[in-house]
Structure 1
Amino acid sequence: MTTVESTIDHRIFSAGRLSIGLTLPLLHAGAIVADFREQVALASLADTLGFRALWVRDVPLNSADYPDPVGHLDPWVLLGALASNTTQIALASGAIVLTLRHPLHIAKSAGSVQTLSNGRFVLGLGSGDRPPEYAAFGCHAEARRERYRAHWETVAAALGEVPRVIPDLRPADAPEFMLLPRPPLPVPMLAVGSGGQSVDWIARHSIGWMTYHREPEIQRSRHSMWRAAVERLPAPAFRAFGVAMRLDLSDDPHEPATPLSLGYRAGRHALLALLDDMRETGTHHVALNPASRRPVRDVMAELAADVLPAFHG
């Protein structure tokens, strides 16, 4: 029988502890083109250095109007490459756009990554926040909340302990379908952003809530709201809280922290203090998005040598 201790989500999210992951692609500040062969090599290095998770984004379309000019690989293609080039680190989607993909395709892809990675995948799901993309895919942005819930139900059924396929239509002569191969472990499902849902809905259906970095007071307020929703569950349960945070790691280890959009510029001592405060206030995982002028491998090496041991020991 599968236990919490045997699943990959427990290595990322654990009560009273904080783990540290990385968001791909790993680029120096100002870079807008990623060499994805190098990204796979960096992912393998992150695995060796002891980072707990690699996060992959789902960016279906680009536009000159969007703030992120980086071209992202299809997440399932990249996750397949990562599964084949790493051995220990968790692989997580942050997040598959649940509302713009058919849920059975998502379930099939998630099960495939879980199989290739030998149970190291966490399926993070979001709703997307760009209304013009909905139109491009023939969907109405106003329906995203309902689509999110309906698609979540279909994915959860297909990936659960007793998997079952919920078809869109069921003609009288339709057979019972299944998704094969069955992955070695059920795929944990994580809400990334709110998806237009209440925190109570997220607490009932997800292993946790992953959100963007915000100012400390705002983040504490959101965390308090989340803890209250978890405490309202009908039975006591652990639900994770994670944060994605941009980081410009200074080469001066004593440089104090300076707020940036979605994160901080800081030396490692200030970073340690920030992360320790996040752990004390109930954050279970931080997905760092390093973006500095320093070589990426140097930043990874410093984090692995001087930051990870304080939290992964």
Structure 2
Amino acid sequence: MLFHPDRLSFGIVLPVQARTSADIRFDTQLDMASHADRLGFDALWVRDVPLNSASYPDPVGHADPWVFLGALAASTSRIALATGAIVLPLRHPLHIAKAALSMASLSRGRFVLGLGSGDRPTEYEIFGADVESRKTLFQFHWERLAAALRQNPEVIDEGGRVRNEFAIRPSLQQRSIPMVAVGSSSQSLEWIARHASAWMTYYRPLSIQKDRLALWRNAQAKVTTDFRGFGQSMVLELLDNPEAAYEEVNLGGRSGRRGLIGALAAMREAGIHHVAFNLAAQGRLPGEVMEEIAADILPAMR
């Protein structure tokens, strides 16, 4: 289970490569993925970036997430495969359902479906969607997607009608596919707590993130008694010097391993359940960084 009330799990954000305008290097990323799998990381996170533009700060030429996930499923055996996040308003929910069911089957139950609303008006424009309608569009697409992913699936048409003459396959072979809200998705926290199994957000200094956690707990208390996970992405610059103190950087931290262990322990104590590392390029080989995390940090956190 990727989100558990009593433990902190760890993921790697792919691609692990320098943030330049170069396209994704598939062979390298598949090697990284299988290495993370062997080292004991809990998840690999894949982004959905349909189009590159100056308005998107990451210049990497990302792969189609579903094609990439299929290759990851074939290259790994244990690690969860997660989307962070499929842009739900810009993709048809029945296409997403088909892909998600296929991934769940191909990965033998390791797939986690992270969904976001996207926030680039120009991207909405080029896909012929109204960015101002993303809140209601996200909700309607979520409803149709969730219906198609149930144990007894239903295909809902554009008018909200159940169309019993259609079936969507492959059939669900596991209890459920976790649906995770990534970012605010233009929704209230109560809506997210009611509909999503977990909420993934971006890194904030812990003193600030604790306020978000308090709001999240309050939202959950109003709508459900079920457990709802809380996770965050995190830029990580792991330094050679194990004694280097933890310090904040943009959307993450820079630290030696001892300082990082202390920071992660504080996150776990605050109620964070998952951290997805975005490994920053800072002179060290990413495989070496993952090995240090696996050898010295993961055991200290479990």
Amino acid at match of 2:86: I
Q: Quick check: 1:269 aligned with 2:258?
A: yes
Query: Residue type of the partner of 1:240?
Result: G
Question: Where does 1:189-268 land on structure 2 (aligned, <5 Å)?
Answer: 189-234=179-224, 236-268=225-257
Residue 85 of structure 1, CA deviation: 0.9
The question of whether the paired residues in 2 share the 8 Å contact of 1:193 and 1:209 is answered with yes
Counterpart AA for 2:67: V
Distance 1:255 1:153, change over 3 A: same
**Paired letter, 2:180:** L
Cα deviation, 1:200-257, whole Å, max 9, x if unaligned, reads 01000000100000122221100100011111224x2100000100001111111111
Deviations 1:53-92 (A, max 9, x none): 0000000110134311011000000011111111100000
Residues 56-135 of structure 1 mapped to structure 2, 5 A cutoff: 56-135=46-125
Which amino acid is 2:218 matched to?
A
Alpha-carbon displacement from aligned partner over 1:273-310 (angstroms, at most 9, x marks no partner)? 11100000000000000113201110011011011112
In the alignment, is the contact (CA less than 8 A) between 2:100 and 2:113 conserved in 1? yes
Distance 1:169 1:204 in 2: 23
Which of the residues 147, 150, 175 maps onto 2:137? 147
Q: Which residue of 2 aligns with 1:179?
A: 168
Mean CA deviation greater in 130-139 or 302-311: 302-311
Give the AA of the match of 1:205: H
* Cα distance change of structure 1 residues 187 and 170 upon mapping to structure 2, 3 Å threshold: closer
Quote the offset at 1:161 in angstroms.
Answer: 2.0
Distance in 1, matches of 2:18 and 2:185, equals 30
Name the CA distance, whole Å, in 2 between partners of 1:211 and 1:170: 30
- Segments of 4+ moved more than 6 angstroms: none
The separation in 1 between residues aligned to 2:200 and 2:54, in whole angstroms, is: 27
In structure 2, what is the equivalent of residue 13 of structure 1? 3
Q: Does 1 or 2 have the higher relative contact order (CA < 8 Å, sep 6+)? A: 1
* Deviating more after overlay: 28-37 vs 237-246: 28-37
Partner-residue secondary structure (3-state), 1:230: helix
* Alignment match of 1:288 (pick from 271, 277, 281): 277
Q: For the Cα contact (< 8 Å) 1:249–1:267, is it kept in 2? A: yes
Report the counterpart of residue 3 of structure 1 in structure 2: none
TM-score, L = length of structure 1: 0.92
- Equivalents in 1 of 2:201, 2:212: separation in Å? 10
| Whole-angstrom CA distance in 1 between matches of 2:197 and 2:13 | 20
Aligned to 2:295: 305
Q: SS state of the match for residue 288, structure 1?
A: strand
> Could you tell me which amino acid in structure 2 is paired with residue 210 of structure 1?
M
Indicate the SS of the match to 1:12: coil
What secondary structure sits across from 2:45 in the alignment?
Answer: strand
Change (3 A) 1:92 1:43: same
Structure 1 gap ranges (5+): 1-10
Q: Is the 8 A contact 2:43 2:79 kept in 1?
A: yes
| TM-score of the pair, normalised by structure 2 | 0.95
- Consecutive unaligned residues in structure 2, runs of 5 or more: none
Indicate conservation of the 8 Å contact 1:28/1:294, yes or no: no
Secondary structure of the equivalent of 2:44? strand
Report the residue type matching 1:139 in the other structure.
Answer: A
AA in 1 matched with 2:231? G
Any idea what the Cα deviations from partners look like across 1:149-200, whole Å, max 9, x if unmatched? 00000000000121111122599xx761111111311211000011111000
Distance 1:183 1:31 in 2: 38
Residues 29, 293 of structure 1: 8 Å contact kept: no
Q: Give me the whole-angstrom Cα distance separating, in 1, the residues matched to 2:34 and 2:172.
A: 23
| Cα distance in 1 between the residues matched to 2:73 and 2:9 | 20
Q: How many residues align?
A: 300
In 2: Cα distance, 1:210 partner to 1:217 partner: 17
Structure 1 residue 33, shift from structure 2 partner: 4.3
Superposed displacement of residue 29, structure 1 = 6.6
